[in-house]
Amino acid sequence: MTQEREFYAATVDDAVRKAADELGLPAQELAYKVLDEGNSGFLGIGARDARILVETTVTLPEDAVEIDEPPAAAPDDEVVPESPAAEPPVSVGGAESSSLAEVFGDSSDTDPGEAPQELLDEVRDLVSAVLDAMGFTASVEVYDAGGFIAVDVASEDTALFIGQKGETIDALQYLVNVAAFKERSFFKRIVLDAEGYRQRRVEAIQGMAHRTARKAVRERRTVEMPPMNSSERRVVHLYLSENPNVTTESEGTGDGRRVMVSPS
């Protein structure tokens, strides 16, 4: 009987040694396939482990019989969705879906004007160079979106480029903003996006805000949302700003700063 197992490590050689140690076999006798050679990233951004798939042979006792396991039964305490009549309706309407310009645009009254083409070209070259250093094959489109400078990245590894909870794309966005305006008086926020990730994230946060507002009104208490960055907190404040049943306020410091939703 053949089984397959994945092993992760900083390099392919390290992954092979790790597999050999865990399986109790000499490294030279392992049959494996390299799934990902890994990447050290650029300034620590976009780093990922190497991955290998190892085939192992398991010897079954002569009297053993292989059977397919039946599907797992639903647990006794499985939550069954309540019918609409089980809970009285709670009015917690929010604003219409926020545009990216509302979320990422300059909140001040000063309009910086249209970004010069020279700046757009420099941003495109900068992002392309960083992506190349990170090992990404991607095309980059840069344009003035009115309230911000949009950078659309089309990559073969979109999920890796975005990163868990957007950590990679947010870190790269911060890096590009710092580098592009280091010696400029003109400033307009640069927003990196990939396959509509930013708008999907806005809509997901709005859904979370809607559910949190329902809970705050239903339970008549303040409900805290998970920690968010400033742009994500702005989505919540904008979305619930026209809801007369709740108020919002940011509390906390640093990475722990979050939105508190309270009944009016």
148 near 100, Cβ under 8 Å? yes
pLDDT digits (tens, 9 = 90+) for 233-264: 999 999 999 899 999 999 998 888 999 999 99
For residues 54 and 179, what is the distance between their CA atoms, to the nearest angstrom?
43
For residues 120 and 116, what is the distance between their CA atoms, to the nearest angstrom?
7
For residues 231 and 101, what is the distance between their CA atoms, to the nearest angstrom?
11
pLDDT digits (tens, 9 = 90+) for 104-137: 766 555 677 889 999 999 999 999 999 998 888 8
Burial zone of 261 (CB within 10 Å; 0-12 exposed, 13-18 middle, 19+ buried):
buried
User: What's 45's DSSP letter?
Assistant: B
pLDDT digits (tens, 9 = 90+) for 85-109: 344 444 455 555 556 777 776 655 5
For residues 58 and 176, what is the distance between their CA atoms, to the nearest angstrom?
51
